[in-house]
Amino acid sequence: MRAATIAVISALATIGIVACAGDGGAATDPVEVEAPADTVDAGPAVGETIPANFAARDASGEERTLGTLAGDNGVVLVFNRSADWCSYCQSQMVSLNGIRGDLEERGYTLATISYDAPDVLADFSRRENIAYTMLSDQGSAMIDAFELRDPQYAEGSFAYGVPRPAIFVIGRDGRVRARMVESDYRIRPENADILTAIDRL
């Protein structure tokens, strides 16, 4: 994971987050933060709404929508490649478990989404004591709906259909309030930077 930066402003610039500033949780005009070369412009922009048909199955096989996922203020949705074979994703998933309570105190639930089957997620969740929702997007329908499919993997590759690593802070109204999309799958933001970005909303 990326080393934490000292100053809050530079930390946000480093991970390439753009956020909506507002009071009372209301999204207003986005505040753009300069993105570094290792971020990529993919997925819904800040202020846009996520696909209206958003749905994925959790580790138990139950279908989940934004309405069944979001806390009082929304959900932090983390796209990752695989809980089965991607060590960077596995490390991130375990680390994110540590801020689940901090996010809930801020009114946000936490969920990850990958192309893994529900049973793969259930096994990982049990093994690592994951306390947040892990979503299965087999067939990559939501990954494609968010326009996050990583183009470097061709059909026939075991990684075909994986997303670029991405984090979206989504309000209960479905609007993106903050986002970060990386071009390098080895780079993930620090938990403290995610919390700081949310605190700036």
Radius of gyration over alpha carbons of the chain, in Å? 15
Q: How confident is the model at residue 195 (pLDDT cuts 50, 70, 90)?
A: very high
1 found inside a domain? no
Region of 79 (left: φ > 0; alpha: ψ -120 to 50; beta: rest) is beta
152 found inside a domain? yes
- Please measure the distance between the N-terminal and C-terminal CA atoms of the chain and give it in whole angstroms: 24
144 found inside a domain? yes
Structural domain tally of the chain? 1
- Residue 158 amino acid letter: F
Question: 170: Cβ–Cβ under 8 A, 6 or more apart, which residues?
Answer: 50, 66, 70, 74, 75, 76, 77, 176, 177
pLDDT at residue number 35: 38
Q: How confident is the model at residue 40 (pLDDT cuts 50, 70, 90)?
A: low
Question: Among candidates 167, 165, 157, which has minimal Cα distance to 193?
Answer: 167
Q: How confident is the model at residue 15 (pLDDT cuts 50, 70, 90)?
A: very low
Question: Among candidates 189, 173, 193, which has minimal Cα distance to 181?
Answer: 189
* Per-residue pLDDT tens digits for 44-69: 999 999 999 999 999 999 999 999 99
Q: Counting every residue, how long is the chain? A: 201
pTM confidence score = 0.81
Range name among 12-16, 105-109, 132-136, 175-179 with the lowest pLDDT average: 12-16
Q: Above 70 in pLDDT, residue 182?
A: yes
Here the CATH number for the domain that contains residue 140 is 3.40.30.10
Q: Are 177 and 27 in contact (CB under 8 A)?
A: yes
Beta-strand runs (E) in the chain: 18-20, 30-31, 55-58, 63-65, 74-79, 108-114, 133-136, 166-171, 176-181
23 found inside a domain? yes
3 found inside a domain? no
User: Any bridge partners for residue 112, and if so which?
Assistant: 78, 134
* Per-residue pLDDT tens digits for 120-142: 999 999 999 999 999 999 999 99
Q: How confident is the model at residue 189 (pLDDT cuts 50, 70, 90)?
A: confident
pLDDT at residue number 14: 33
Q: What is the mean pLDDT of the chain?
A: 84
pLDDT at residue number 187: 85
Question: Among candidates 154, 158, 153, which has minimal Cα distance to 84?
Answer: 158
122 found inside a domain? yes
Q: Above 80 in pLDDT, residue 91?
A: yes
80 found inside a domain? yes
194 found inside a domain? yes
Q: Above 80 in pLDDT, residue 20?
A: no
What domain range includes position 21? Answer: 8-199
Helix (H) or strand (E) holding 103: helix 100-105
